[in-house]
């Protein structure tokens, strides 16, 4: 096997495809580069077919910290559980590949994408899908390929669309659209946007489809070069689970019964009726037949349910719960659902119910990210929990699964564009969406409930956001677009198309498509129908809460920003953080200091004002004429040092501690005494001279004119003193030492 490498340019970026040198025992392996960013993607297909009634595909993205020259933190100093970004990248690879395999494929497939180099210029995520596609082509794996994934950005100023933008280009983009598929159809879309119109989004998707075709052509060119050098690729044979016609006929004989069982608006009741029917059908098979067709029977039962549901929608125009295609389920909206928390919102649509809860904190409480991307943290965190009780089931409660991370990320992208700038609202923001009940579209209920929680908590969002999940049924040459899909329409339908946005435009979008007949004309209809659905839901939300509350709740921290000169930051922090810790301990407020001198002070009650007052006293420079009541902190033979402000001491000279002659400062003042003083001088080095206000009489009671400080009578040069004549100054003759012994540096 000879190394094959091919470099090409597309849309202003340079890419390299390589194979034949690394991971040669895998079924297929490919190295993909964009710039210097490098990912190795491998695929392994098990030799034996698994006894499953589903396609056993596993996709992992392995984020190696050496790719950016980092050593992982913690005691183990090695990578642990995948970051959220790594999980989202694995989902990005999985979603277009899973539907590309043939029905009945039961051999286990594992795809592993490993980051080798992350150049901090080009993102690594989208190129991994192309690597997986190429690895499967080189390994002779049967799938509908080649596939590719691209990211489309749009310059905020010029409107220019950009393919696979760099991190710097993404900073100036109002669109972050990832889409994947073949040159003929799109199977996966994920997007965040700054309120762009449906038509602009559609144009970007068309442009992305063209770019996907170009990357598919690049893979075909590479495969041709590979076969020229290494010989023709052998297409591997994998037996498929081909359903028995006899089983199909016996199961589908119960079609009318299945259609009747599905016609129930209540999810649990419908599931019970369908399950009972399936048990009755299975009872018609003998034990020998059940053992012989142990995989065929469950597959055909699922197909029966799917066929009955889809035919019902297409032929009658009515869905399983009796709704029309564009009808939204009944809504229940309750902002401010929980007491004491910083904000909350309960959003229910049909049998899907989500409670979102807001927490506000200091900016330093934002999430720190330790990934291979040049992003160190984020201020807004949206987390989504899907406990087993929300579907009436039992199950493990623990770390979030991939689906939960993906849904949380979608709601987060939907709301980030409308959040206020941190200069306007200097808070870290966390929203947790608890799914209390689920029958489809829980991610969109999460977006709506979280918008309610933000508004209830007084977060001054720019505009409210609503979301809706759309579906698609293509059956018997007919196409029906469904609004607000429920669970069964998601599982058995052709498309799950989620759209979030404000009245001005789209802020987030996600699509998983199984229909090869999805055209841009159908997508345009779906977007238009989604816009009407979003408007209906948003109107219902605003009828309960018209906008953000005027202020945050009393239980939430109040954060105020002030600015201090950068040369005073050290004074506020103190040696080893001593001063700032004392401020926080004594006032109860939290204090964050930025490098530019911005100070964020947060707390409840009067703690914020108390901390700000302490900080202002520290940075204040006393001025001549100001009067202070200070505490004596040190006594010296020449006077007493009096603390005026935190970190600011002034000298009260011995001649100014009392009226009359004072032999020792201790005769009048002691350490710890409070004394009222006025500032009489601040020199260019910041040293402060003080005078005592209302001086007491000196202890001896002697009348004495205070001696003047040396600073009050500048010393004149000797040559300017009266009677001085430099010509009369006695001079010492060379070598004359006046009878004194010469000094030596090393006198023994």
Known binding-site residue numbers: 490, 496
Count how many Cα atoms sit within 13 Å of the Cα of residue 410 in the half-sphere of its side chain: 31
DSSP 657-686: SSBS--S-GGGT--TT-EEEEEEEEE-TT-
The answer to whether residues 65 and 73 touch, using CB atoms and an 8 Å cutoff, is no
Task: Provide the β-strand partners of residue 558.
Answer: 603
**Distance from C-alpha of 630 to C-alpha of 672, rounded to nearest angstrom:** 9
Residue (of 260, 298, 264, 306) closest to 281 by Cα position: 298
Asked whether the beta carbons of 76 and 150 are under 8 A apart, the reply is no
Contact indicator for 619, 657 with CB cutoff of 8 Å: no
- Pair 363, 600: CB distance under 8 Å: yes
Q: Are 165 and 151 in contact (CB under 8 A)?
A: yes
Q: 123: buried, middle or exposed (CB in 10 Å: 19+, 13-18, 0-12)? A: buried
Give residue 400's Cα distance to chain centre. Answer: 15
CA 99 – CA 112 distance, rounded (Å): 18
Planar angle of CA 459, 463, 466, nearest 5 degrees: 100
Phi, psi (rounded to 5 degrees) for 257: -65, -40
- Rounded Cα distance between 431 and 381, Å, is 6
Six token digits for residue 465: 């956001």
Query: Token pair for residue 128?
Result: 């991994």
Is residue 1 within 8 A of residue 211, CB to CB? The reply is no
| Residue 338 β-bridge partners | none
Which residues have C-beta within 8 Å of that of residue 346, sequence separation ≥ 6?
332, 333, 334, 335, 337, 353, 354, 355, 356, 449, 452
**Residue 220 parent element (H or E):** helix 198-230
As annotated, the binding site for Mg(2+) includes 490, 496
Tokens 């069982």, located at residue = 261
3-state helix, strand, coil in the chain (%, to 5): 35, 30, 40
> Within 10 Å of residue 241's Cβ, how many Cβ atoms?
18
- Nearest CA to 522 out of 491, 485, 495, 501 is that of 495
Cα–Cα distances in angstroms (integers) from residue 225 to residues 4, 39, 83, 630, in the given order? 8, 21, 37, 85
* DSSP label of 256: H
What ranges make up the beta strands (E) of 362-422? Answer: 367-368, 377-378, 380-385
Strand bridging mode 186-196 / 506-513: antiparallel
| 651 sits in which H/E element | strand 648-653
Q: Is 655 in contact with 707 (CB distance < 8 Å)?
A: yes
Do residues 384 and 447 touch, judged by C-beta distance below 8 A? no
- Rounded CA separation 283/592 (Å): 69
User: How many Cα neighbours within 13 Å face the side chain of 168?
Assistant: 3
Comparing CA positions, the residue from 461, 458, 460 lying closest to residue 358 is: 458
To 5 degrees, how large is the angle CA 260–CA 264–CA 267? 130
Q: What is the bridge-based pairing of β-strands 4-10 and 13-19? A: antiparallel
Longest Cα–Cα distance of the chain, Å, equals 137
């Amino acid at each position: 096997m000879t190394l094959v490498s091919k470099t090409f340019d597309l849309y202003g970026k340079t890419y390299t495809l390589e194979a034949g040198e690394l991971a040669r025992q895998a079924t297929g392996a490919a190295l993909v580069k964009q710039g210097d960013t490098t990912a190795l993607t491998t695929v392994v297909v098990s030799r034996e077919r698994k006894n499953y009634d589903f396609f056993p595909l596993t996709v992992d993205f392995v984020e190696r910290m050496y790719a950016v020259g980092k050593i992982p933190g913690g005691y183990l100093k090695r990578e642990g559980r995948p970051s959220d970004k790594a999980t989202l990248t694995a989902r990005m690879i999985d979603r277009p590949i899973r539907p590309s395999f043939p029905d009945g494929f039961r051999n286990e497939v594992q795809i592993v994408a490993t980051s080798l180099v992350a150049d901090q210029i080009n993102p690594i995520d989208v190129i991994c899908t192309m690597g997986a596609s190429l690895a499967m082509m080189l390994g002779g794996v049967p799938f509908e390929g080649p596939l590719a994934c691209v990211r489309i950005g749009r310059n905020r100023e010029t409107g220019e669309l950009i393919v696979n933008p760099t991190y710097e280009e993404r900073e100036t983009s109002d669109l972050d659209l990832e889409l994947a598929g073949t040159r003929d159809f799109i199977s996966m879309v994920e997007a965040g946007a700054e309120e762009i119109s449906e038509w602009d989004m559609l144009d970007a998707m068309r442009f992305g489809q063209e770019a996907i075709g170009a990357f598919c052509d690049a893979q075909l060119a590479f495969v041709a070069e590979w076969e020229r050098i290494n010989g023709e690729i052998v297409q591997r044979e994998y037996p498929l689970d081909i359903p028995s016609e006899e089983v199909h006929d016996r199961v589908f004989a119960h079609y009318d019964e299945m259609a009747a069982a599905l016609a129930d608006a209540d999810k649990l009741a419908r599931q019970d009726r369908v399950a009972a029917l399936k048990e009755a059908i299975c009872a018609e098979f003998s034990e020998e037949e059940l053992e012989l067709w142990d995989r065929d029977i469950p597959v055909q039962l699922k197909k029966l349910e799917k066929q009955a549901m889809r035919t019902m929608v297409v032929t009658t125009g009515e869905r399983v719960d009796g709704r029309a295609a564009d009808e939204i389920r009944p809504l229940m909206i309750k902002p401010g659902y929980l007491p004491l928390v910083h904000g909350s919102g309960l959003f229910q649509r049909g049998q899907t119910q989500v409670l979102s809860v807001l927490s506000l904190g200091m900016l330093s409480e934002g999430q720190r990210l330790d990934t291979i991307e040049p992003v160190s943290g984020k201020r807004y965190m949206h987390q989504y929990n899907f406990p087993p009780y929300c579907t009436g089931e039992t199950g493990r409660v623990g770390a979030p699964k991939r689906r939960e991370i993906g849904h949380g990320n979608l709601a987060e992208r939907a709301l980030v564009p409308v959040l206020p700038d941190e200069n306007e609202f200097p808070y870290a923001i966390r929203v947790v969406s608890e799914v209390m009940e689920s029958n489809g579209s829980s991610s969109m209920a999460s977006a709506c409930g979280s918008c309610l929680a933000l508004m209830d908590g007084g977060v001054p969002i720019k505009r409210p956001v609503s979301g809706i999940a759309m579906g698609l049924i293509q059956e018997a040459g007919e196409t029906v677009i469904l609004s607000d899909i429920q669970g069964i329409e998601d599982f058995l339908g052709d498309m799950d198309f989620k759209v979030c946005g404000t009245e001005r435009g789209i802020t987030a979008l996600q699509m998983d498509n199984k229909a090869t007949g999805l055209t841009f004309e159908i997508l345009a209809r779906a977007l238009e129908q989604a816009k009407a659905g979003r408007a209906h839901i948003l109107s219902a939300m605003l009828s309960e809460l018209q906008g953000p509350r005027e202020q945050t709740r009393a239980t939430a921290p109040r954060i105020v920003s002030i600015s201090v000169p950068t040369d005073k930051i050290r004074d506020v922090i103190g040696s080893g953080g001593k001063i700032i810790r004392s401020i926080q301990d004594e006032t109860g407020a939290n204090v964050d200091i930025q490098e530019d001198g911005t100070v964020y002070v947060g707390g409840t009650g009067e703690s914020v004002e108390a901390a700000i007052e302490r900080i202002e006293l520290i940075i204040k420079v006393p001025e001549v004429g100001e009067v202070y009541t200070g505490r004596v902190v040190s006594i010296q033979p020449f006077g007493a040092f009096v603390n005026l402000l935190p970190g600011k001491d002034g000298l009260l000279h011995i001649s100014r501690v009392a009226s009359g002659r004072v032999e020792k400062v201790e005769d009048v003042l002691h350490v710890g005494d409070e004394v009222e003083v006025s500032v009489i001088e601040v020199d260019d080095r910041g040293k402060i001279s003080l005078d005592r206000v209302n001086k007491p009489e000196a202890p001896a009671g002697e009348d004495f004119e205070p001696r003047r400080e040396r600073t009050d009578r500048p010393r004149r040069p000797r040559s300017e003193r009266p009677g001085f004549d430099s010509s009369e100054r006695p001079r010492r003759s060379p070598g004359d030492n006046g009878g004194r012994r010469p000094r030596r540096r090393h006198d023994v």
